[in-house]
A and B are shown apart, each in its own frame.
Chain A
Amino acid sequence: KNQVEQSPQSLIILEGKNCTLQCNYTVSPFSNLRWYKQDTGRGPVSLTIMTFSENTKSNGRYTATLDADTKQSSLHITASQLSDSASYICVVRGSGNTPLVFGKGTRLSVIA
């Protein structure tokens, strides 16, 4: 069964600290994996997309990694800011007729 599991479900960190969010998937065959940030009351916004051949990709303070062998991805946030408080959703796209599979997200709260 195609699934995407994210951990932790929620996370609270102090402003300025780093954190890492995890995404494990069983989607096969694999095409790409994308991380979205969703602020409260708004639609998701794409942060980064990872294809099979990519191991690391950065977008400012956000760095995503992908291990296609173990089917794991992580999103690392450096020097967190209050504005990083949001839900982070991992989405995996399969090849061919394999559907788009969404994780349930990690709710991150950055506090002063």
Chain B
Amino acid sequence: DAGVIQSPRHEVTEMGQEVTLRCKPISGHNSLFWYRQTMMRGLELLIYFNNNVPIDDSGMPEDRFSAKMPNASFSTLKIQPSEPRDSAVYFCASSRGQPEGAFFGQGTRLTVV
């Protein structure tokens, strides 16, 4: 299995632009998670899906952030419009159930200038 696949690995964009991050979970996993990691705040859970349905989005910082999971093998995290404070590494993870058992992707390093 290739593991959780995220794209792009790196993204540099100008403030105000729309950013879309993509994730392909491990086949057979029914839970998918989006995390953000910064030096100041560490890892933060943004949202998680179970069987393609958003279960908890309380970690999504504001309305500029949205996430979708149209099917079991694909999810997106969109930021529109992006701001410099959104610069971070965004991880996608998947698991069979609980988040603490999640397998992480390699992350997307986002830089908003």
Contacts and interface: CB of A to CB of B under 8 A. Distances in A.
Interface residues of A, number: 18
A91 B42 CA distance: 11
Interface stretch (A15-23, A40-48, A59-67, A74-82): A40-48
A43 B6 CA distance: 11
Dominant SS at the A interface?
strand
Which among B4, B42, B58, B93 has the highest number of chain A CB atoms within 10 Å?
B42
Which secondary structure dominates chain B's binding surface?
A: mixed
A99 B45 contact: yes
A7 to B, nearest CB: 14
Contacts of A91: 43, 100
Interface of A: 32, 34, 41-46, 49, 89, 91, 93, 99-100, 102-105
Contacts of B93: 43
